[in-house]
Copies of this chain bind each other. A is one copy, B any other.
Amino acid sequence: MAQNKVITLDKIKIACQNCGLSNICLPLGLDSDDVERLDSIVQRNRPLRRGNYLFQTGDTFKSVYVVKTGTVKTYTQCPDGSEQVIGFHLPGEVIGLDGIELRKYICSAKALETSAICEIPFGQLEELTATIPNLQHQMFRLLSREISNDTSLMTLLGKSTAEERLAAFLLSLSIRLHSRGFSATEFNLSMSRQEIGSYLGLALETVSRLFTHFQEEKILKVNRKYVEILDLEKLYNLLSQQTVCLEKLRAP
């Protein structure tokens, strides 16, 4: 009896209708009826453990995925075994959109920590989208956001110094974590120096040295994965000459 009640509460809790992410996720702008229809096609499988794959390069495209909790990295792999990190994905961010065109994923996606994921079969999503104009609009917005985020990153990789890149990365994380209800100035990195370096086009040693340097400048307090931003303004100023407008650093 008691157990029955608990299960019921759980069921309520994990629906889109009750998800804290609904203001940044797909349901944004939908009325409650439509959220319910969307919710009915969402699959919630068991959480991924650190190191588990969501999908791998070349897998047949079937679904898009939304991070519910945790962090997921996407990356491509070189013949020589080294990898290029494409993105780090926080709760509310959609993964797998790159697979729509060729019907297979061009990235691999791997959990950096225990992560809960919502799976949305794309065929069903497309059917639903065709009947809910607001959902179609939201899908276009999501895809467009992905494109403009990539534009920002390309600008960063195209012309910035190592210092500017790491500053931009930290600020982007700060902003995104903050808009998800976490602290903007204190967080644990779920990725390694190596992975940060790959994402930013830098060697892991350079990333490590920059953390030390930022610490000497009293901009950060760093202890391995733990980062505290002591001086947000200085961090912003490092980017002042940059095109990258901060609102676009994978916000919200």
Residue positions of A touching B, CB distance < 8 A: 76-80, 82, 84, 86, 97-102, 106-107, 126, 129-130, 133, 136-137, 139-148, 150-151, 153-155, 157-159, 198-201, 240-243, 245, 248
Contacting residues, chain B, for A141 (C-beta < 8 A): 100-101
Q: How many chain copies?
A: 2
Q: Is the CB of B98 within 8 A of A148?
A: yes
Contacting residues, chain B, for A154 (C-beta < 8 A): 84, 86, 150, 153-154, 157
12 A-B pairs besides A84-B154, A158-B198 with CB distance below 8 A are A76-B151, A76-B243, A84-B158, A84-B159, A86-B151, A106-B148, A106-B245, A126-B133, A126-B140, A154-B157, A158-B199, A158-B201
What distance in Å separates the Cβ of A78 from its nearest Cβ neighbour in chain B?
5
Q: Is the CB of A146 within 8 A of B147?
A: yes
User: Per a CB cutoff under 8 Å, which of B139, B198, B241, B248 touches A140?
Assistant: B139
